[in-house]
Amino acid sequence: MLTLLLKGSPMQESVLTTILLPAALGLIMLGLGLSLAVADFSNVLTRPKAVAIALFAQVILLPAICFGLVSVLGLDPLLAVGMMLLAASPGGTTANLYSHLFGGDVALNISLTAVNSVLAAFTLPVVVNLSLDHFVGGTQDIGLQAGKVLQVFAIVLIPVAIGMLIRRWRLEFADRMEKPVRILSAVVLAAVIVGAIIQERDRILDYLASVGLVAVLFSAISLTIGYWLPRLFRVERRQAIASGMEIGIHNSTLAITIALSPTLLNNSTIAIPAAVYGVLMFLTTLVFGYAVRRGSEVVVERS
């Protein structure tokens, strides 16, 4: 619900878009970097089939499905762009946490997160620009042109790179700081959410009504494809759970920051889907996690 502040005063909007959101995203990506090493990129070679399937789903399949979903449901053009922006956003540390809770291969999650973070810096602007061209056309002067693409690259990769450098040079310090940074980023994000809900409590139901259904459907579809597509290709269950979490949990904070940033898209309507999804996806992910864990227990009992 981070976008709810946008209809407040100019001072509130400035603080949100120029300080709080970038700070929250920077902390989240820094925390991600603290958990990554260069070896995580090379480790993808040890799980080539699982990684290839997951990346295909993330980069190609899910944006295509999201496009079909928003087209069939006739979503407002800018809201449709917001959903496409969300679909192009990678996973992150939340996916790693859920994978751990429900028995996934966390090492695979870490490798996928590392590769996805790099790929997103290139694929996300492409998806956003194509979506704007299709749904909005030339009616509004928004988009991610060359200079803005470099900014997306910077906000995605620079904090991660800094975190990785800290881990390389000061491993013990990185291990100690990983949890506090994760907690601090969650606190900053929660503070923004609480303030937004208080500021725009009268409009929350309107936002849920406009994109709630498509957000829930997309979350459920992402999780299901992320798990079952690898299983169809005989990827073992723990890796499929990891894939389901990595592909099914999208970085809504990244999508919101890109949508709201005055130097990027600077459009509050585009941010609404990611804000609504960021709240609703916790429920769908918990349901999914309990379902796949229950499935694992049934398989064990029968064997």
Q: Which domains does the chain have, with CATH numbers?
A: 2-293 (1.20.1530.20)
Average pLDDT, the chain: 78
Give the pTM: 0.78
Max mean pLDDT among 106-120, 164-178, 198-212, 238-252 falls in 238-252
Max avg pLDDT among 47-56, 104-113, 159-168: 47-56
CA dihedral 253, 3, 152, 214 (to 10 degrees): 70
| pLDDT interval class at 300 (50, 70, 90) | very low
What does the pLDDT read at residue 10? Answer: 39
